[in-house]
């Protein structure tokens, strides 16, 4: 199943501001994290079963540098300095896909800036797990 988690919707937490000044985002805004090492966009996501889940991270980066983030699941770093290339404009949104290990049930996912440039602007994370809907034939 695939579920979308908006960066601006609790229990998600943004170390910065929820902004709406760059169009094209989903939901009611996006996370503009502080331009600092460790500034984070955090999500609480659900997985039907333990195993690998695919995270599709929608972001915009109108600068010219490449930004990078450590990706933590349940507090453990599962990817170091994962890169987010420039999208050309703050109103141009792209999706970066990563595969991460998850537990069955609730998990925290944290995107934590690994340089002083901070994160790109984060719109949402879509999580695809390997679980089948309850009661469906397999
Ligand atoms: C600009 C832009 C912000 C962005 C910031 C950044 O200020 O308007 O949306 O977050 O640059 O460089 O991180
Ligand atoms: Ca920012």
Which tens digits make up the pLDDT trace of 74-86? Answer: 999 999 999 999 9
The interface predicted TM-score (ipTM) is 0.98
What's the fold here for domain 2-128?
Jelly Rolls (2.60.120)
Question: What pLDDT shows up at residue 130?
Answer: 80
For 4-17, write each residue's pLDDT tens digit: 999 999 999 999 99
Is 137 exposed, middle or buried, given 0-12, 13-18 or 19+ CB atoms closer than 10 A?
exposed
How confident is the prediction for the chain on average, in pLDDT?
A: 95
Which residue has tokens 């453990």?
76
Q: What ligand 1 atom has the least distance to the C-alpha of 22?
A: 9
Query: What's the CA-to-centroid distance between 55 and ligand 2, angstroms?
Result: 21
Gap between the Cα atoms of 138 and 116, Å rounded: 47
Segment 118-130 mean pLDDT: 96
Flag whether pLDDT at 135 surpasses 80.
no
Ligand nearest to the CA of 34: 2
pLDDT tens-place string over residues 94-105: 999 999 999 999
| Cβ(110) – ligand 1 distance below 6 Å | no
- Tell me how far apart the alpha carbons of residues 97 and 34 are, in angstroms, rounded to a whole number: 23
Q: What are the domain boundaries of the chain? A: 2-128
């Amino acid at each position: 199943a695939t579920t979308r988690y908006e960066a601006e919707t609790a229990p998600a937490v943004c170390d910065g501001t929820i902004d709406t000044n760059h169009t094209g985002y989903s939901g009611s805004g996006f996370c503009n994290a502080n331009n600092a090492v460790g500034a984070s966009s955090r999500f609480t996501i659900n997985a039907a079963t333990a195993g690998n889940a695919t995270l599709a991270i929608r972001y915009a980066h109108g600068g010219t540098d490449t930004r990078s983030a450590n990706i933590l699941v349940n507090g453990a770093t599962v990817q170091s300095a994962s890169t987010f290339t420039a999208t050309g404009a703050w109103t141009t949104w792209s999706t970066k896909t990563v595969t991460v290990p998850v537990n069955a049930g609730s998990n925290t996912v944290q995107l934590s800036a690994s340089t002083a440039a901070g994160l790109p602007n984060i719109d949402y994370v879509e999580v695809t797990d390997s679980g089948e809907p309850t009661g469906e034939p397999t």
